[in-house]
A = this chain, B = another copy of it.
Amino acid sequence: MQPAPLSDRRPYIRDSEDARRAALVAAVLDLVAEGGVEAATLRAVAARAGVTPGLIRHYFGDKDGLMRAAYGQMMAAMVNPCLAAAEAAGADPVARLRAYLAAALDPAALDGRTVALWAAYIHRTRQDAALRAAHEAGYLAFRDALEVLIAALPLCPLRPRVAAIALNALLDGLWLEGGLLPQGFIPGEVQRIALTAAARLLDVPELPETEGPRS
């Protein structure tokens, strides 16, 4: 009889496929945000998800599969809250637009990690057709929603498409700057600037008004 090495193999508990996929995707996004794509090695991802690298192959086939899944989740996490905020703001077009803008520049979404995460994927977006499709879909969904909100305004000095492109660009830029130079702005300043600028762009002076007393 062999000495029975008592199995120094790591013990484990089984989990549902969904939970494992979610844990692995979350690990990827964490690592990419912290250390760029180069930090998201299969071994590092597996370790952070509390798993061994073989599981990644089991669930995603290959590293590209994992990265694609992670990208999809990232885009959804960036776009959906804005759509939901507008929906929750009621029927008044101005209030809806205000909620959308505020959600897009929400301080929680405005940290450098998110920007870094997004930037880390840009290159892959340009080469991998599946990623590019996901990117354009999420992107245009955001811009089209903006265009709908703008078209609902009582009067609009610019063609809705032009206004949507410009306002979307403004949001992107502010999101970038706010995330990359957090100490360059006082809290809430980015949102305030967005509303002020949008008010001038669209000729809607009441846009920046909040319910609180004005300072």
Interface residues of A (CB under 8 A from B): 35-38, 112, 115-116, 119-120, 122-127, 135-136, 139, 157-158, 162, 165-166, 168-174, 176-177, 180-181, 193-194, 196-197, 200-201, 203
Contact = CB atoms under 8 A, between A and B. Distances in A.
Contacts of A201: 197, 200-201
Contact of A119 (B123, B139, B177): B123
B181 A172 contact: no
Nearest to A161: B193
Contacts of A174: 165-166, 169
Name, among A126, A158, A168, the residue most crowded by chain B CB atoms within 10 Å (CB to CB).
Answer: A126
Q: Is the interface of A mostly helix, strand, loop or mixed?
A: helix
Given A116-B126, A168-B173, 7 more contacts: A38-B38, A119-B119, A169-B169, A169-B197, A172-B172, A200-B203, A201-B201
A139 B173 contact: no
From A35, A119, A201, name the one whose CB has the most chain B CB atoms within 10 angstroms: A119
B173 A193 contact: no
A116 to B, nearest CB: 5
A116 B112 contact: no
A158 B36 contact: no
B200 A177 contact: no
Nearest to A38: B38
Contacts of A127: 35
A88 to B, nearest CB: 25
A112 B197 CA distance: 27
Contacts of A170: 166, 169-170, 173, 197
Contact of A196 (B166, B176, B203): B166
A196 to B, nearest CB: 7
A197 B197 CA distance: 10
